[in-house]
Amino acid sequence: MGKPSTSQKPAADQPAKLVDINSASRAELKTLPGIGDAEADRIIKGRPYLSKAELVTKNVMPEGVYVSLRKQIIAKQATNKPVAKK
C-alpha cells in the first residue's frame, strides 16, 4: 500500500514571508522576482517608503515589475517610541 500521509502542508499552502522594503538587506531584496543588484540599490537609496506603492510613484521601478511582486513585499514603518523624561 501507499505511504502514510504527513501532517505537513505543501509549501504553496504556507504563507510566504513578506520582504520589508524599508529594512531588507540587498541580498533579501534580490530574492524578489525582477530585482537584481541595480534595482536593490535603487530601493535602498529611496528609503523610507510610506507605502509599497511608492516604488512606482518615486520611479524606483516600473509598474509591471511592481505588479509582479507587490504581494511579496511590505513597507513597515519605523516606530519611534516616546522616551519618558526623568
Low-confidence ranges of the chain (pLDDT < 50): 5-11
Whether 7 is covered by a domain: the verdict is no
At 7 the pLDDT is: 47
Whether 12 is covered by a domain: the verdict is no
Q: What pTM was estimated for this model as a whole?
A: 0.73
Q: DSSP readout, the chain?
A: -PPPPPSPPPGGGSPPPPEETTT--HHHHTTSTT--HHHHHHHHHT---SSTTHHHHTTSS-HHHHHHHGGGEE-PPPP-PPPPP-
Whether 29 is covered by a domain: the verdict is yes
Whether 79 is covered by a domain: the verdict is no
Whether 84 is covered by a domain: the verdict is no
Number of structural domains, the chain?
1
Whether 51 is covered by a domain: the verdict is yes
Whether 46 is covered by a domain: the verdict is yes
Whether 86 is covered by a domain: the verdict is no
